[in-house]
């Protein structure tokens, strides 16, 4: 009888371990934040639709001091995601074969968060979705709206 109890406990332990490892695989994500509006999620390159953030090399000026606003946008995104699960709704592919998507953490749009914080712009050329968020940031002088800056699309064209 004692041997049967040991076998039963051993088998239950094995099943429990396999179950826990399976649960961990389902919840885990491979995530890399490339810049303010691009992530790699489980091997897929995703570009956020409807917004544009400053380039990593781009700077802004606040009270005569240089601010790497592109790096700040990336940091805001990293801080918002933290160790939470990112879920994206795909809207197709772009000319560079990136997945175009709106991504969320706890049902909050990462794009909306970035625009509302003043470190992303509503990319009106492609979408009108985040204009209200941009108006809020601009009216409250948040993020880049409190600085001298060049729009990201102009920075790319000029550099």
pLDDT at position 7? 60
* Contact indicator for 64, 105 with CB cutoff of 8 Å: no
pLDDT at position 102? 97
* Contact indicator for 101, 91 with CB cutoff of 8 Å: yes
pLDDT at position 29? 86
Whole-model pTM: value is 0.81
CA 19/CA 14 separation, integer angstroms: 9
Domain limits of the chain?
A: 31-158
Protein fold of 31-158: OB fold (Dihydrolipoamide Acetyltransferase, E2P) (2.40.50)
From the list 57, 44, 98, 54, the residue with the least C-alpha distance to 77 is 54
Question: What is the pLDDT tens value at each position of the chain, 159 positions in all?
Answer: 455 666 655 545 555 444 444 444 444 789 999 999 999 999 999 999 999 999 999 999 999 999 999 999 999 999 999 999 999 999 999 999 999 999 999 999 999 999 999 999 999 988 999 999 999 999 999 999 999 999 999 999 999
53 φ, ψ (degrees, to nearest 5): -110, 160
């Amino acid at each position: 009888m004692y041997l049967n109890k040991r076998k039963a406990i051993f088998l239950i332990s094995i099943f429990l371990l396999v179950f826990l490892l399976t649960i961990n695989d389902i919840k885990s994500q491979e995530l890399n934040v490339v810049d303010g509006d691009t992530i790699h999620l489980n091997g897929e390159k995703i570009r956020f639709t409807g917004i544009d953030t400053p380039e990593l090399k781009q700077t802004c000026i606040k009270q005569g001091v240089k601010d790497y606003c592109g790096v700040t946008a990336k940091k805001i995104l990293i801080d918002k995601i933290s160790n939470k699960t990112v879920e994206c709704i795909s809207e197709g592919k772009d000319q560079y074969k990136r997945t175009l998507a709106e991504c969320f953490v706890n049902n909050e749009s990462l794009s909306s968060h970035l625009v509302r914080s003043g470190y992303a712009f509503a990319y009106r050329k492609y979408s009108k979705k985040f204009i209200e968020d941009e108006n809020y940031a601009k009216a409250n002088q948040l993020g880049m709206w409190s600085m001298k800056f060049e729009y990201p699309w102009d920075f790319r064209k000029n550099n």
